[in-house]
Amino acid sequence: MKQKESQASSSSIKQATNEASKQATTASIDQPDTRTDRSFDAIADHFEKKVYGGLKGDIRLAVLRRDIFIYCTQMSQTLGRPLRILDVGAGLAQIAIELASQGHTLVINDISANMLEKAQANAESVEKDLDIRWYICPYQALEEKLASNTEKFDLIMCHALLEWLAEPAAVMNFFDKHLSANGALSLCFYNPASFDYRNLIMGNFNLLDNSEYKADNEKSLTPNHPVAKEEVESWLRAHEYQTILASGLRVFHDYAPLKRGGHNDPDAVIRMELRYSQLEPYKWLGRYLHILATRHA
């Protein structure tokens, strides 16, 4: 189905009622300690500027493009056809849109209508006739909206979503059901070790000593419930996935309080980030981690 025939048109995205966000708001009012899945609907503009408005976003996209595009090219050649790809919790969906422009078939999902409105505007500026379906809903409601509740995908991307889910481990069951035989899972998630390391470098010892510290998630993009790589790796093993690639995103850029030498050249920073993003031990210092894994039939 082409973009112009997509499930959610630009106008319908703009007018869509984000029921999940309403439920999350109600839950947070009635039960302050109850964790809910996070939507960035109310701060979509802030998210776009903060995450992708500078070099941080350029580094993030550069590493993901390298990891994912190379793999997709190889998989597409092996299968002899374009890939069927699902982006869960896609946000601004930059990588997904670029994959669609390469000829692949995309399903793009997010809980936030405002985020998908921005993503669709970006897609239309790239090309008018991309093969994309758009679904505004929490991932738990996505199954009933797909072409069939057993629709399979060659690649499922889930980037910067795990740390914002109330029950992140549960999403693995969704992946199991909708990943095709020999398909690939692309997980990108916030690295909690990077929070400690950065604050050690910055001398924020009082913050690290404060076991009750919580970021203000009304506007902050620092998750209060990140998942460590060891936990994610344990989920992958339990669900019989094999990791084929692991990268760190921003393995040094965020840790340099004084910008000097090559730090003042954005192209050089990206080049070095790409070089060290897959090298031990530097990749495990990334502010985010990217794992590409497969589950053989």
Interior angle at CA 210, CA 207 and CA 216, nearest 5: 70
pTM, to two decimals: 0.85
Q: What is the pLDDT of residue 271?
A: 98
Distances (CA, A) of 75 to 159, 174, 246: 20, 22, 18
- Other CB atoms closer than 10 Å to residue 170's CB: what's the count? 12
86-95, 128-137, 145-154, 162-171, range with the lowest pLDDT: 145-154
Outline where 36-146 has alpha helix (H).
44-52, 55-79, 94-101, 113-126
Distances (CA, A) of 267 to 69, 123, 263, 270: 20, 25, 9, 5
Q: What is the pLDDT of residues 34-44, one digit of tens each?
A: 777 776 666 55
Q: Over 80: is that where the pLDDT of 9 sits?
A: no
Q: Over 50: is that where the pLDDT of 8 sits?
A: no
Beta bridge partners of 251: none
What the chain holds in terms of domains, given with CATH numbers, is 3-191+225-294 (3.40.50.150)
State phi, psi for 186 to the nearest 5 degrees.
-110, 110
Q: What is the pLDDT of residues 250-263, one digit of tens each?
A: 999 999 988 899 99
Q: What is the pLDDT of residue 31?
A: 40
Q: Is 149 exposed, middle or buried (0-12, 13-18, 19+ CB in 10 A)?
A: exposed
Q: Strands 288-294, 179-190: parallel, antiparallel or unpaired by DSSP?
A: antiparallel
How far is 129 from 111, CA to CA, in rounded Å?
Answer: 24
Q: Over 80: is that where the pLDDT of 11 sits?
A: no
- Spatial neighbors of 27 by CB under 8 A, at least 6 apart, are 34, 36
5-14, 192-201, 203-212, 269-278, range with the lowest pLDDT: 5-14
Structure tokens of 114?
């405002």
Q: Label residues 251-263 b or e (16+ Cβ within 10 Å = b).
A: bbbbeeeeeeeee
Q: What is the pLDDT of residues 239-252, one digit of tens each?
A: 999 999 999 999 99
- Other CB atoms closer than 10 Å to residue 276's CB: what's the count? 18
How far is 86 from 105, CA to CA, in rounded Å?
Answer: 9
Q: Nearest-CA neighbor of 214 among 195, 193, 198, 189?
A: 195
Asked if residue 207 lies in contact with residue 197, where contact means CB atoms within 8 angstroms, the answer is: no
